[in-house]
Amino acid sequence: MFDAQCDLAALVYEAHQDPDAVLRSFAADLNARGVRVVGMVQAGQCADSSLSAVLLHSGETLLLAQDFDPDARGCRLDLARLQNAGMRIADALSYGADLVIINRFGKRERDGKGLSHLIEHALDADIPVVIAVGRDHFADWIKFAGGMSVRLGCERDALEAWWHAITAVDAQPRNGSHLTVCEILK
């Protein structure tokens, strides 16, 4: 599923950083340039009832939090709502995409659940993927990705440089030279 073409990137963030703002701004600018970005970016906080996500291809905001339970502790993610969001993203992918953005890599994705199927689907279709990964989850991410991922700092410039690099490679015409091992195996 993963290869060394660098079309899979982890936007690695520290606790004090806001990867959602970086991804949301990046996606908005790409969409304005005519690039079809599909996926979602988190809005609100995981530990309260404001947890939601913005679908990047439609601008719609979806509630992801469980219905309010004053006794609940920790992340209040409603798994059924997350799966619903995943189905909506998969449906949007069926119409094509130039980039997929996944809001977070967490324990569900680490275990092959959550939105991990969207990452696999996009990469199988040769669509680049970027996902926010907390520094404390990076070792799990590397294991999940089989080591085949670019690590980006949580900065807009890092995302732009990665995007420019992968789109410049795709735009270069072949000059009749031999294929690389990665191209053959892909």
Other CB atoms within a 10 A radius of the CB of residue 54 amount to 19
| 8 Å CB contact between 53 and 40 | yes
Per-residue pLDDT 10s for the chain (186 aa) are: 444 456 999 999 999 999 999 999 999 999 999 999 999 998 866 655 668 889 999 999 988 877 655 555 556 677 888 899 999 999 999 999 999 999 889 888 888 788 888 988 998 899 999 999 999 999 999 999 988 899 999 999 999 999 999 988 655 544 444 444 344 344
Specify the fold of 8-185. Answer: Rossmann fold (3.40.50)
**Do strands 61-63 and 52-55 pair parallel, antiparallel, or not at all (unpaired)?**
antiparallel
Q: Please report, to the nearest 10 degrees, the dihedral formed by the alpha carbons of residues 37, 86, 136, 134 taken in order.
A: 30
**Edge-to-edge strand list for the sheet holding 150-153:** 61-63, 52-55, 37-43, 99-105, 129-134, 8-13, 150-153
Rama region for 93: left / alpha / beta (φ>0; ψ in -120 to 50; rest): alpha
